[in-house]
Amino acid sequence: MIRFIGGILAAGALALSGCAATGTEMQASFDGSAPEGSPVALNGALSIADGRLVGEHGDPVTLRGMSLFWSQWGPQYYSRETVDWLVDDWKVTAIRASIAAEGQDSALNHFDREIAKASTVIEAAAANGIYVVLDWHAHRNHPEEAERFLTEIARRYGDLPNLIYEPFNEPLRDNVDWSRDVKPYHERMVAAIRAIDPDNVIILGTPSWSQDVDIAAQDPVEGENLGYTLHYYAGTHKEKLRAKGDAAIGAGLALMITEFGLVNADGDGPLDMESSQSWWDWAEANGISWMNWSISDRDESSAALKPGTPPAGWRAEDLTESGTILRSRLRATAGFAEE
């Protein structure tokens, strides 16, 4: 494993900054131990056993954190400063890097630029001792580009204990079939990643915007340390979608909520706190990790930050209603009083 000292680099080593290190530089820079008391120090490399996410000693692990917004539209938050702030002030145990894979201004056409953003977040998460979900944030199938990106990440960071892969954010619903279209894609990505990184957890998306986990449970991808993501937006998705999650859990799948909102499925509209509480209760009862959408200053109610908010140092007046609630809940679940 790549080594680090108490969350900071050894004297004379390459500093972690907005300029990402290469995989070789990373191995030369870190000494190996996560910061004392951090999630990675406590749990080590994660795996999946008996339908649950577990740490290296076999104990169940539930991660709670935030997802960054599409990387081409929120690049200022793909920074060491943002990750540090979310760890120190919001008490996240995981962060999701949503690397854009749709449109011209995305990783499809700007590979090196988006690799650099992913690298910055992965390295910052490693230095802080939290887990990081590397999300290939696509709605459509781009197998060649996805494989190139994911295997480059695996070559650079596959030895880190805190890395989790999400190879397909939200496959669409119309004319998309799990067994015909999405499962073969995942089999290709899993094989490519496993050729380099044999054991870090991989979280798989399903059709209907990663909601068809019950269908995937009838024909799962073969392999070790494979879980499935379930996405929801509380204003739109309620008991019916939780029932699909229950069916998947009952069939033995390990679930992770890598994206959810307190609002409607379009990312906007009023906060539905009754439904949100039902979802939180369900996730906690089942030990399901979650990451909220999103750290963004976009003018929509799912954004945690108000327009123009800087990458770190946020004050109460910088947070939206959603951001205020998420910060409070993250701090509470980590055992910290409100400030």
Q: Which residues are catalytic?
A: 170, 259
CB 235 within 8 A of CB 263: yes
Read off the tokens for 124: 């910052």
Radius of gyration of the chain (CA): 18
Residue owning tokens 């209603």: 321
Helix (H, G, I), strand (E, B) or coil at 110: coil
**For the packed helices 183-194 and 143-157, what is the interaxial angle rounded to 10 degrees?**
30
Helix (H, G, I), strand (E, B) or coil at 127: helix
Identify the CA nearest to 238 among candidates 270, 203, 207, 282.
282
Q: What angle do CA 75, 76, 82 make, to 5 degrees?
A: 115
Read off the tokens for 125: 């998460």
Helix (H, G, I), strand (E, B) or coil at 56: coil
Identify the CA nearest to 67 among candidates 225, 235, 302, 321.
302
Identify the DSSP state of 137.
Answer: E
CA distance 126 to 313: 21
Helix (H, G, I), strand (E, B) or coil at 254: coil
Q: Which residues have CB under 8 Å from 263's CB, separation 6+?
A: 233, 234, 235, 269, 270, 271, 272, 301, 302, 322
From the number of C-beta atoms within 10 Å of its C-beta (0-12, 13-18, 19+), residue 97 rates as buried
Backbone angles phi, psi at 227, to 5 degrees: -120, 180
Identify the DSSP state of 113.
Answer: H
